């Protein structure tokens, strides 16, 4: 750590209020084309916005208000999004407004010749790509119905000659995430890929002949977050999976692939047992090798134009999100920023394994109170992660840290079907959603009860797919848990298929192998609503009323069923909140309710 970084870290009390309002740290890091500077979106003592950080180390300089920085080719200016419009900011901080309207602009990308800024907008009623001159002017639409308005996952990808933009579109079919290329002068688009489902924004080779990305095959299971590395020939549209012994990790479609060594090698992120790493492989395929070795949770990788450097935002169990740079010749990553707070009482959990119902071993992370005493008895809770096919990361998991600081033993589990353990482990969830995963969670409760310092009471909680697994566990393994808090879950996938947003519907359809009409038996396996009659555990169910990923109707149906069956439960919904709550006050209220509920049913018998 550079000497100027020392003494900048501040220790913050670990409270629910602070967790939801004290969000200091780096959120995004984008390396300049020449590799000399990093544009960092951060919340810091100096305020929020974009900071300029030398890649060789040195104090950050607050550069601009806004977010989503994209570099101009001169490596001296950026475009940012501010107040719904795009602004160009030069090295001095002087800003020029590029768009002036009440419409939305997101995911800005600057052409390599510096003449144009491409961005996505819903102004056509779809997610379409528009371009605007680099000094401002009237935007021009390039694509036609590229993606539905509710699917804003990807970023425009300029070709090196600035004449084309590669993008992901479902124009050829609602269920497709195909790769397309639009010719900028004429506006003509052509479809490149036919067999794959794109998982990341594509990256051009420096000679403009190939595109690399992470993707899965349309004909197979949707291995979201554990994808093939694919190279596509732009002229012939030939799709080629790069053969290697591991897979890439797109992490909710946010990661990117990079070219290096004169387009001879590819760089990509890979998730292993809760840790991200940077990996490298010959572009023709072969044995992939790991480049980074310090692990943790990574936000999207950003590569220099030469492919000789990569930066990323990294966090661990005890360190908040800050920026690291890795020279790809080798060696150790260098920490460039110290924006993130340090949290009082945060500790590194113990990685363990426990045996599940079928004899398989499941990874878990066990959080203990800071002043843990093995002669005392503590209440315990099982945490089940969201995403389903994702994973629990060795990142800054502050709710688990907080509950441990309040005297709970918390076991976060990486149930079957998640990433980070290879394809065979993900295959265990095929045609078995919410079933074997629920039994993994129940096995975690059984393991906790074998520990002499557990007071005999075990709860469970989770958000999104964690909410799914929480309700599924108490419905499939009655009597195992003493309290349950499912948040933002789906309890009848067949019903949610008809009213979720597009990404939610793809997730449900591909995860079940088809629609409810043709896959009745598979949807019956995952249906928890039909099993709520078995629930004996007190439940606190929570949901946002504007949620379309896990539709609010799921909460309403579950609450009605719990009430009709006379179950012991509490329910709380939040008007206007989508799948990820936007209001800090509502998040604080939600987690305070969770804590009070767990206290009521799990405390008793432990000292303190």
Span 106-164, pLDDT tens digits: 999 999 999 999 999 999 999 999 999 999 999 999 999 999 999 999 999 999 999 99
Q: Are 271 and 225 in contact (CB under 8 A)?
A: yes
**CB-facing half-sphere around the CA of 221: CA atoms within 13 A:** 19
Q: Are 296 and 394 in contact (CB under 8 A)?
A: yes
- Domain coordinates in residue numbering, the chain: 349-602
pLDDT of residue 3: 46
- Tell me the three state secondary structure of residue 132: strand
pLDDT of residue 171: 95
DSSP H or E stretch at residue 447: helix 436-449
Say whether domain 349-602 belongs to CATH 3.40.50.1820.
yes
pLDDT digits (tens, 9 = 90+) for 467-483: 999 999 999 999 999 99
DSSP structure class, residue 4: G
pLDDT of residue 9: 66
Q: Are 165 and 129 in contact (CB under 8 A)?
A: yes
The structure tokens 């995963």 sit at 437
Collect the ranges in the chain with pLDDT lower than 50: 3-4, 6-7, 605-608
The two most distant CA atoms of the chain are separated, in Å, by: 75
pLDDT of residue 2: 54
Closest CA to 246 of 422, 393, 416, 414: 422
- Tell me the three state secondary structure of residue 240: strand
What is the Cα gyration radius of the chain?
24
- The residues near 599 (Cβ < 8 Å, ≥ 6 apart) are none
What percentage of the chain's residues is helix, strand, coil (to nearest 5)? 20, 35, 50
Distances (CA, A) of 453 to 263, 481, 580: 56, 17, 35
pLDDT of residue 8: 59
pLDDT of residue 139: 95
Q: Are 99 and 132 in contact (CB under 8 A)?
A: yes
**CB-facing half-sphere around the CA of 338: CA atoms within 13 A:** 15
pLDDT of residue 120: 96
């Amino acid at each position: 750590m550079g000497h100027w970084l020392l003494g900048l870290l501040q220790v913050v009390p670990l409270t629910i209020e602070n967790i939801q309002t004290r969000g200091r740290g780096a959120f995004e890091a984008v390396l300049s084309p020449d590799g000399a500077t990093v544009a960092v979106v951060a919340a810091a003592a100096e305020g929020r916005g974009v900071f300029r950080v030398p890649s060789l180390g040195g104090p950050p300089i607050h550069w601009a208000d806004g977010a989503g920085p994209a570099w101009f080719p001169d490596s001296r200016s950026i475009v940012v999004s501010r107040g719904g419009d795009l602004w160009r900011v030069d090295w001095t901080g002087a800003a020029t407004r590029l768009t002036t309207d009440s419409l939305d602009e997101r995911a800005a990308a600057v052409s390599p010749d510096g003449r144009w800024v491409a961005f996505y907008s819903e102004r056509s009623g779809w997610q379409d790509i528009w371009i605007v001159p680099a000094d401002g002017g009237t935007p021009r639409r390039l694509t036609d119905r590229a993606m539905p308005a509710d699917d804003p996952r990807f970023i425009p990808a300029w070709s090196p000659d600035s004449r084309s933009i590669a993008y992901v579109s479902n124009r050829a079919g609602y269920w497709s995430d195909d790769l397309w290329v639009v010719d900028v002068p004429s506006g003509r688009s052509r479809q490149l890929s036919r067999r794959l489902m794109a998982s990341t924004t594509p990256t051009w080779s420096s000679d403009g002949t190939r595109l690399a990305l992470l993707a899965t095959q349309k004909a197979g299971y949707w291995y979201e977050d554990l994808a093939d590395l694919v190279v596509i020939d732009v002229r012939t549209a030939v799709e080629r999976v790069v053969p290697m012994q591991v897979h890439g990790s797109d992490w909710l479609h946010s990661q990117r692939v990079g070219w290096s060594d004169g387009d001879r090698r590819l760089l990509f992120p890979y998730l292993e047992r809760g840790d991200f790493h940077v990996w490298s492989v010959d572009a023709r395929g072969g044995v992939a090798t790991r480049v980074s070795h310090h692990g943790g949770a990574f936000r999207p990788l950003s590569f220099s134009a030469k492919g000789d450097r990569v930066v990323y935002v990294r966090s661990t169990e005890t360190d908040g999100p800050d920026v690291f740079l890795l020279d790809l010749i080798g060696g150790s990553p260098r920490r460039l920023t110290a924006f993130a707070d340090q949290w009082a009482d945060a500790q590194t959990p113990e990685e363990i394994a426990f045996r599940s119902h079928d004899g398989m071993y499941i990874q878990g992370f066990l959080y203990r109170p800071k002043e843990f005493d093995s002669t005392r008895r503590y209440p315990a809770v099982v945490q089940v992660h969201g995403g389903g096919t994702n994973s629990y990361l060795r990142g800054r998991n502050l709710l688990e840290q907080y509950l441990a600081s309040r005297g709970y033993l918390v076991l976060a589990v990486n149930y079957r079907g998640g990433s980070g353990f290879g394809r065979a482990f993900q295959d265990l969830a095929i045609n078995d959603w919410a079933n074997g995963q629920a039994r993994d969670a129940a096995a975690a409760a059984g393991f906790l009860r074998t520990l002499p310092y557990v007071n005999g009471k075990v709860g469970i909680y989770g958000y999104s797919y964690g909410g799914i697994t929480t309700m599924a566990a108490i419905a499939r393994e009655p009597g195992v848990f003493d309290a349950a808090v499912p948040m933002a879950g789906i309890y009848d996938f067949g019903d949610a298929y008809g009213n979720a947003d597009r990404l939610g519907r793809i997730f449900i359809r591909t995860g079940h192998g088809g629609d409810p009409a043709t896959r009745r038996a598979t949807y019956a396996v995952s249906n928890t609503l039909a099993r709520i009659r078995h629930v004996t555990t007190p439940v606190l169910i929570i949901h946002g009323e504007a949620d379309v990923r896990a539709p609010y109707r799921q909460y309403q149906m579950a609450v009605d069923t719990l009430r009709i069956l006379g179950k012991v439960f509490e329910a709380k919904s939040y008007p206007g909140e989508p799948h990820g709550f936007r209001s800090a006050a509502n998040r604080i209220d939600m987690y305070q309710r969770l804590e009070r509920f767990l206290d009521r049913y799990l405390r008793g018998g432990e000292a303190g």
